[in-house]
Amino acid sequence: MEANAEVRSRSTAAGSPSVVGVLTLAPHVNAYESDIEQTLITQQDIQAKLAELGERISHDYQGRDLLLVGVLKGAFVMMADLARYIRLPLEFDFMAVSSYGAATQTSGVVRILKDLDHDIEGRNVLIVEDIVDSGLTLSYLLKNLRTRRPASLEVCALMQKLDVQQVPLDIKYKAFEIPPVFVVGYGLDYGERFRNLPFVGTLKPEVYRDAVT
Ligand code: IMP
Ligand code: MG
């Protein structure tokens, strides 16, 4: 069977993440990003899932002060959309941490490149992360932020890769579980490109082959 002929994106019960499969690439994509091989999660599926998570978050944080902490750069696209599905007053802050650089393998070393602008003691903090791969970045962030004594600390992640986590993590709000493949789009990059794609997809193998390492 052709690799991209299979469609097995399915929604699960509210509250549980959708497991996604491979979707045929929409024809318009080639027009501006010819390096994309397949669409893994469509724009429509992302928006529907974020709307659902926004509802849950609105319900869970009703009457409480909420601070969204975005992990730069990857989470900025998701953060903008998710926040508009949350029907509560809230505030934003951002952290930037080093992850892969230009490569596709995690080093396991996490460095804070930009810290929060404000104190989080006593605040209800919701970390917004694009993708959890090994889990090392998130695990480090949770440990670090916990020492600052927030009233609560939870995680909202767009994607979690299956079977590759090196540390156990409790991700309360998770949109999608994906196979352990490298993906780009909707905030995620390869060599800083592809963040502006409105969907999540995989790259053609020659993109990696041609890359200068
Ligand atoms: P972890 O520490 O291995 O969980 O990696 C977390 C970070 O690596 C994410 O926040 C992303 O910035 C980056 N990352 C992991 N997997 C991917 C991917 O498939 N595409 C793009 N970036 C990724
Ligand atoms: Mg990230």
Angle at 75 between CA 69 and CA 77, to 5 degrees: 115
Compute the distance from residue 73 Cα to the ligand 2 centre, in Å: 6
pLDDT in tens, 141-154: 999 999 999 999 99
Residue 171 has pLDDT above 80, yes or no: yes
User: Which of 45, 60, 133, 170 is an active site residue?
Assistant: 133
Pairing of strands 200-203, 36-41: antiparallel
The SS3 of residue 114 is: strand
pLDDT tens digit string along 5-51?
Answer: 333 334 444 456 666 666 666 666 666 788 999 999 999 999 999 99
**Is 137 close to ligand 1, i.e. is its CB under 6 Å away?**
yes
CB of 177 sitting under 6 A from ligand 1: no
Measured in angstroms, how far is the CA atom of residue 116 from the centroid of ligand 1?
Answer: 20
Segment 120-143, tens digit of pLDDT: 999 999 999 999 999 999 999 999
Q: Is the CB of 38 under 6 A from ligand 1?
A: no
**In whole angstroms, what is the distance from residue 56 CA to residue 173 CA?**
9
Determine the atom of ligand 1 nearest the C-alpha atom of 106: 3
Q: Is the CB of 158 under 6 A from ligand 1?
A: no
Catalytic site includes residue 45: no
What stretches of 67-204 show up as alpha helix (H) in DSSP? 76-84, 136-146
- Any idea which ligand is nearest the CA of 99? 1
Burial of 111 per CB tally in 10 Å (0-12, 13-18, 19+):
exposed
